[in-house]
Structure 1
Amino acid sequence: MQIIEVNGYSVRSAAITMRRSGAPLEFVIFPMLHVASPTFYSQVRIRLRACDLIVMEGIRGRSAGVSALTLAYRFAPRRRRNGLQEQRDELLLPKDVPVINPDVTAAEAMADLRTLPRWMYVLLMISAPVMGLVFALRGPRAFFDEDLEVEDLPSTLRAEMLADHPVDHAMSDRRDQRLLDALGEIHTERGSESIRVAVVYGAGHVPAIVSGLWDRYAYRPREAEWLTVYVQS
């Protein structure tokens, strides 16, 4: 199952609805890109209005290290001709739908990154701002690259190697675990209710979300709706 699709003229994200047999609760997963067209965020916001609870990604607190890493997607929207926006809560979150955030703190995120070999940690901190500048210069063209594609199960050796990279584990493992624990609590406490729970997380986290809900709680993907992230003009 493909989560992010890149073709010759557009990028699309698959909003995935997962249900469990005999249970009314459903999880709707929105794979996010942190830089996209304004229309994409509008599409997500409209669909979030139909949900009863939103589980939202977002590292809590501040740190210089986290700020440096996020430069990679904060530079691009500054060039208006790119036609892109940075993901922000005010662009996404309806006022009347409750939101919970099970993500890690900035201190925890940096502690996980410091478990990397020192050379790898230093390289990561140096390369993130450089990548941001490249992204800003290339603009939307940076989207039209197969490296952006995400699937729930890697289909190539290269994808498997990337998924098993130490940086990926350091940046995602604890965050994915916190998220799945929070979804498990929702399942336990509200599984008998007929509600829609939106999970709004970066696309890179979605394979772990899908497999975790499937393996732990027997939720299966039942529907998918393609949302357009960007269209090349």
Structure 2
Amino acid sequence: MKFEPSGSIDAMHCLAIKHEYLRCRDMFEVFRDTATGIVLSGHSREAAYRAYNAYSGFILHLYEFLIALHARDYGDTEVVSYKAARASGYERADILDALVNEDAERVVQNRIDRINRGSAPSHENAIDYYYRLLPLPTDFAKTFRRMRNKVGGHVTYERLEEIDLTAFYQANHPYLYLLYRDLGDYWGRHCEEIPDLANVTDFFKAVLDSETPEGARGE
């Protein structure tokens, strides 16, 4: 659906972006805390299970957050339709991959530029760290999208037999983290408290006003 800047749909789309960012942040914080526990206390199946689930959720919500940002840029909830993509000679997935690749290249280059300008904080990584992240792996966005589908979305045997989330983390986490921090900062501002997210934050209110939720008595 097409929508205009500053219109009613745009306002709701911005709320949806903020909601998706918060979901991404929640999953990242759970992953960080769980991973820290594994480092300090050692590997266990339960901890690994929780870390896997949290990182899978982080991938899913980060990808959806990025696509939602581009939807707003294009003024189209689809970003680009399948029909429009094919009319231009490309598949829709290829266009989305190109946009995500550009996002990743930009956040790495922005860190390099900030260090060169002398405006980076004192705790920033050395510039060589970021130079080593470029050039971006040519299949970064495609791999990111497919991993989002396999571990965060679709139920598939490949998740257990073929998909190596550890290898994906080792190869791609620096890019995901920069995307999360640098593109998410704007949407995360003023979110120390959860904002009014319409039906999201109204969820269950009417139920609580009228009845005791099933299971609340510990049955």
> So what's the TM-score if we normalise by structure 2?
0.27
Q: Structure with the greater relative contact order (CA < 8 A, sep ≥ 6): 1 or 2?
A: 1
Higher helix share: 2
